[in-house]
Structure 1
């Protein structure tokens, strides 16, 4: 049985699946992506994270459509899982990313996502990224309005600092259930946000748990501590990192991206990895690499 963690009034799997890589990476294999989603469902994963902006530049909703189509092809999957999507990013030509946190955009984006996903209301709708052109409280007011109108059931925020999270807590109220920020062995700048999540009973969804798509493959060589712990237990470096994250906080839910079923199954195996005190001391002491001055 997959352990669970709280997402507001829901219990979801302690490990989620980030769907971005199903459509974002070059040379996408859609058949393999469907197999990856099915492997996640079979492993007991019940939280799937997507966004309207994930996919080729200039086209919205690509990733949402790919994810929900894969779930529809698995018997009863849609009855067992929670699809979390995000709005507030837009895509331009040449792979550019823009931000639009205006109430009008968020309202239209939420309705479009619900339609693409075939849902009467979005189980978890996340504000993708603060927009410097729009007061954050105004964006949060729009998210609260979506709840009041029945378009959204629960609200999440993403890529926020502690002050922005305080604003979200004040404006959105009890409909706010989660934060999604980057967090990994080498990226812990969101520790103050994680502590706020613990204090307020919010789930912390950790994106980029391996340090990013490029870093994931090199975990065993970039950190001798990770390699040592992996060798001790006879597991992959990725499992070590996920097990460390799961021990980091009871509200933290890693959402590693995957486009291969083998990767999904390896990640799910991290739930059975028990790190001892020596392992944790080694991993806690890992420091981010120094950035040279430019």
Structure 2
């Protein structure tokens, strides 16, 4: 029987609401720029290319390359680019530590991190457009312990104060639980960044809540496999089969699935390679027929909630 359901327009033509404006559903994540630490001009050129290809929101943090990503953004962006810069607080650089970052969850640390981002980004900014509070309630990654285990209400108090002072424009959340998001809704949350991919869909209820509330869902680790032992989208037989049938890469299939899965999902894939950047930005043009969509939707979801230091063997 012929399928008479309406077809979606090409994903490449779609935009989404984010922090009071309309943006492309594919932005750029700046974490990988640190791989070009010794080639800052190349890093700036790569970011310029992302903007030329349509990325109009960029995700960054002071702890990306110990400030290198923010410095590249400061160098590469121009006032007329109209790019939404999204940064985060809740962790700080830790060059001498076992990991390159440490938790910074206390209210005074959140305020200091906002100031660090304002200085590092420059751009003539007197406020940060969007700041994500990295809560560390879920994984994979760091956990808050000891005096770093701060109540969400205390953190939201300082974030809303910073917004009232004009230091930040809007508040997002990262690594948060469903209960945490519900508690934070009265503060006016504009986005959620959690680990989420085709193979790790623990947060489906939270994704639906965000869609209902007009909150952008911005997955990090969108292809899974962030740490050893965690599932990887590109290793799934169904993903590989769909990629082969369409003449694209498994990574592109994994990213395109996210765009098709929910209209409030925004992507921020990061890379330090120009060819890879082109491939990431092209996923908006990938369409799935009903069989491909069903095969991808049937992929098993596995948990990726593994703290650093306790990764699976």
Is this a same-fold pair by TM over 0.5?
A: yes
Confirm whether residue 156 of structure 1 aligns to residue 172 of structure 2: yes
Closer, same or farther in 2 for the Cα pair 1:134/1:89, shift >3 Å? same
Confirm whether residue 121 of structure 1 aligns to residue 127 of structure 2: yes
Confirm whether residue 8 of structure 1 aligns to residue 19 of structure 2: yes
Aligned counterparts of 1:219 and 1:250: Cα–Cα separation in 2: 20
Confirm whether residue 239 of structure 1 aligns to residue 252 of structure 2: yes
Specify which of 71, 74, 78 is matched with residue 68 of structure 1.
74
Aligned residues: 279
Aligned counterparts of 1:182 and 1:290: Cα–Cα separation in 2: 10
Displacement after TM superposition at 1:232 (Å): 1.3
Aligned partner of 2:111 in structure 1 is: 107
Question: Please, what is the CA RMSD of the aligned residues?
Answer: 2.4
Please tell me whether the aligned partners of residues 185 and 210 of structure 1 are also in contact (alpha carbons under 8 angstroms): yes
Aligned counterparts of 2:176 and 2:303: Cα–Cα separation in 1: 24
Please tell me whether the aligned partners of residues 70 and 121 of structure 2 are also in contact (alpha carbons under 8 angstroms): yes
Aligned partner of 2:287 in structure 1 is: 274
Aligned partner of 1:200 in structure 2 is: 213
Aligned partner of 1:53 in structure 2 is: 63
Aligned partner of 1:86 in structure 2 is: 88
Please tell me whether the aligned partners of residues 111 and 158 of structure 2 are also in contact (alpha carbons under 8 angstroms): yes
SS of 2:288's equivalent?
A: coil
Q: TM-score normalized by structure 1? A: 0.87
Q: TM-score normalized by structure 2? A: 0.82
Displacement after TM superposition at 1:122 (Å): 0.6
SS of 2:253's equivalent?
A: helix
Please tell me whether the aligned partners of residues 36 and 43 of structure 2 are also in contact (alpha carbons under 8 angstroms): no
Aligned partner of 1:32 in structure 2 is: 42
Closer, same or farther in 2 for the Cα pair 1:13/1:28, shift >3 Å? farther
**Deviations along 1:238-261, whole A, 9 cap, x unmatched?**
221111100111111121111112
SS of 1:271's equivalent?
A: helix
Aligned counterparts of 1:63 and 1:246: Cα–Cα separation in 2: 26
**Deviations along 1:181-238, whole A, 9 cap, x unmatched?**
11111111121221110121100111111114689xx855x12111111111111212
Aligned counterparts of 1:286 and 1:134: Cα–Cα separation in 2: 36
**Deviations along 1:45-97, whole A, 9 cap, x unmatched?**
10100011111xxx4x232112222325xxx5x53211100111023323423
Aligned partner of 1:138 in structure 2 is: 154
